[in-house]
Amino acid sequence: MRRVVLACGLALAVSGPTLAQGSADEVLIRVDERRLRAVGIDVARVQPESGMTQTVLNGTVVVPPQQLRIVAAPAAGLVETVRVSPNEAVKAGQTLATLRSTDLLEAQRTYLQALSAEELAKQRLARDEQMYRERIIAERRLLTTRAEHEFARTTLEEREQMLALLGMSEPDLRALTRSRRMAAALVVTAPEDGVVLEVKASAGERVMASAPLFSIARLVPLWINLQVPLPQAAIMEPGTRLVIPGTTARGEVIRLGRSVDMTTQSVTAVAEVQVGAELLRPGQVVQAAVTLRTAGVPQWRVPAGAVVRHSGRSWIFVRVAEGFLAKPVTVVAETPSLVTIRAPLTAEDQVATRGIQALLADLVNLYRG
């Protein structure tokens, strides 16, 4: 082997093909007709592609975070009953569980005390206002009585809020105010319509305050987190449409991630599925057929065997008079038989489709040299 280094670039003369680097991005592989026949290299003409390109991407179905609600225990206590099961549809206000809690009894007791104190302060205020109009008491005493009533009213409102935080509804609060009889159990209700995804507690279990009891979600729409290779992420944009083959589910991309997964070198795109969302399940792994717009950039369709990977890039070998020109390309979409690429080509260009390993070996040798 004889190697010659030129000022303008690198040239190699070898027994058989001659390799010369014409630019930083393209590599000329010189192959004569005798070796072309010996290796069995076949070529095919590139096919122009316009309009839309469809590719298949893997994704995972998830519930949009704004549609997921965690129902927590409003107070520490004993779970007395559980009224729902996983995958059951529930309505807003529907009873999910009952909870016996000493915290509830204490909150009701302090509420009734505050209620009595407020009523007494109100009566005192009415009496002192009458006495002040009759000039029996001084204005200073009336002002003191008003301040005491305001404090009692504020305390009562605070106790009402405590009962609301413990899950007591307004009708139950009115009943407590009217009857002065404390309830022994706390009713845990659904905050909105949805489907129970998970039940985290069982009857007879003691739970702490704020312990999660149920997860409830609205399942329309759903999101699909798509793993998009970097070349395809470069041409994907919000509004890109997709379908789930074999179903009527369809949607569109609403957001494209900015960070890249270091392991897979892919970007996460979030697609929202409105139509056919009921056919999908959270956590389900799906394959989505995504339609990519060409945006006026020329694209070409070549046989799958015409594209090879080397040095982290995709390459094709274009037939030229001296042999083949190795060109880096951007892969837009792939199927088992065809690959859609972006590259500076013409409709007359032919690419190697068979015997390509010999050309790849020459390309690798050039980079090693």
114-146: per-residue pLDDT in tens? 999 999 999 999 999 999 999 999 999 999 999
Give the per-residue pLDDT at 32.
Answer: 80
Average pLDDT over residues 144-158: 95
Give the domain ranges of the chain. Answer: 2-51+299-368, 55-63+219-293
- The pLDDT of residue 13 is 36
| Gap between the Cα atoms of 6 and 269, Å rounded | 47
Mean pLDDT score across all residues of the chain: 86
Determine the CATH number of domain 55-63+219-293. 2.40.30.170
More confident residue, 231 or 288: 288
Q: For the structural domain made of 2-51+299-368, what CATH number should be given? A: 2.40.420.20
- pLDDT given for residue 245 in this prediction: 93
Check if the beta carbon of residue 21 is closer than 8 Å to that of residue 8: no
pLDDT at 361 over 60: yes
Q: How confident is the model at residue 8 (pLDDT cuts 50, 70, 90)?
A: very low
Please report which confidence band the pLDDT of residue 201 belongs to, taking 50, 70 and 90 as the band edges. Answer: very high
